[in-house]
Amino acid sequence: MLPAGSTERIAALVGKRGYLDRPEDLALYEYDGSQEKHRPDLVVFPRTTADVAAIVKIAGEFKLPVVGRGAGTGLSGGAIPREGGILIGFARMNRIVELDLENERAVVEPGVVNLDVTLAVERDGFFYAPDPSSQRACTIGGNVAENAGGPHTLAYGVTTNHVMGLELVLADGTVVETGGKEADLPGYDLTGLLTGSEGTMALVTKVTLRLMHKAEAVKTILVVYDSNEDAGRTVAEITARAITPVAVEMLDGVMLRMVEEATHAGYPMDASAVLLIELEGPSDVVEEQVGQIRAACLECGAREFRVAQSAAERDLLWKGRKNAFGAVGRVSPTYYVQDGVVPRTKIAPTLRFIGEVAERRGLTISNIFHAGDGNMHPIILFDARKPGELERARAAGEEILAYCVEAGGSITGEHGVGMEKNELMSKQFPAETLDMMGRLKRLFDPEGRLNPGKMLPTGRGCLEIRQGPLEAGGATY
């Protein structure tokens, strides 16, 4: 429950249609795409940066937690208000402020949907490269918070590679700017630091993005396998031949059958795995690379190599990939998505390990992932209505992530740490590094009110533990 007078202060600022406080409305904001839930005490919809700054100042006066939220498509609990307080929804800050095509830049508010950036510039031959599978719904602000990726970031990089500047509201309500349209500005790279900080250090209110020119030629290829491991070996073989496609996606047999039944994308129902490979560039270079990739795939045991013959066929293949998570919902009432990363050379043994975990835990685990950069997305199917299944799914997920770290990888590639993986950060980093991160967090957020309980380990499993202010000489997070 909020302190007396706080809601009235917010209402006076944003008007009666600018906030929600009824329980039935707040229930819509207690979850994201993860398995966690926690209800905010108040949801506020600012329209301007000045609104955000004023809300943060009011929250500061009443010592309230503040959590930013985009479209709620995140998969690590990053937008869940773990300690209640004020949730700032950026849905109404959804303007494309400027398109500067001559300098290949766009300036947008955080509530702009990812795909809408590309739709705004594609007629002029441009696009915005980071393309999460949720790009039709997810917003740029959420992408910046989680440093989101997507299928085509193998060649183009993740969100941080395309964010040139930020406008931010700090924990005390101060508005600052970092970076800008210019490349390689002097000074500390605060834009890079804050991209991927998951709303724990500042709230993003404007973003300057890098735009890119569309390629001359695009080829999309579907490669079919009778073995998961053969598909995994192919990724390493393509890399060994010094070819970098813009995308290399893998779906195992369990996943591709769910996808095909839902989307009719043309995936073979009897296959053990498929690779979806995309090449872009000058026409002659792309044609040469198609031949080289064909040779690599056949050498690794591919049974079929199919090049899309039209834009419609290409779009259908990608429709299957982009709508995969929705397809899973037709088969399982609930599922748990993981996000570990391994070196490309470790994809095949990682798939084998995931299969062993599934058998040992008595679970069905399907795989769909960005094979080109080793970003694994095992999807653990379970029924939360059955006692103990959620706990088994979580245990399986933690086991897989621990393996990824031991294999030389990471606990996350694009979904963020949030409240799902923060206790696993100690497997990724030594105590000294985590202590340094905690001190940096406190520099931006001395009272620990911005998205508390996220990213850094709390040291306990309780969901209510607070990452409080850093005590003198202490190392609490």
Final residue belonging to a domain, choices 213, 232, 248: 213
- For residue 194, what is the domain's CATH number? 3.30.465.10
Q: Does 426 map to a domain? A: no
Strand ranges of the sheet holding 175-179, from the earlier edge strand across to the other edge: 96-100, 105-108, 203-210, 163-169, 175-179
pLDDT tens for each residue of 254-279: 999 999 999 999 999 999 999 999 99
CA nearest neighbour of 59 among 167, 142, 171, 141? 171
The pTM (predicted TM-score) of the whole model is 0.93
Q: Is 153 helix (H, G, I), strand (E, B) or coil?
A: helix
Instruction: State the amino acid at position 314 in one-letter form.
Output: R
Q: Residues 188-195: what's their mean pLDDT?
A: 97
* Confidence label for 1 from pLDDT (cuts 50, 70 and 90): confident
The domain containing residue 473 runs over which residues? 431-477
The reply to whether 461 falls in a domain is: yes
pLDDT digits (tens, 9 = 90+) for 53-88: 999 999 999 999 999 999 999 999 999 999 999 999
Q: Where are the alpha helices (DSSP H) in 161-282?
A: 190-194, 228-240, 253-263
49 and 74 inside one domain:
yes
Into how many domains does the chain fold?
5
Are 377 and 435 within one domain?
A: no
- Whether the predicted pLDDT of 469 surpasses 70: no
CATH of the domain at 58: 3.30.43.10
Residue 35 — pLDDT band, cuts 50, 70, 90? confident
| Counts for the chain of helices (H) and strands (E), in that order | 16, 18
From 281, 279, 314, 309, select the one nearest 297 (Cα to Cα). Answer: 279
Residue 327 lies in a domain: no
Does one domain contain both 221 and 279? yes
CA 240, chain centre distance (Å): 28
Report helix, strand or coil for 222: strand
128 within some domain: yes
8 A C-beta contact, residue 21 and residue 84: no
pLDDT, position 326 = 84
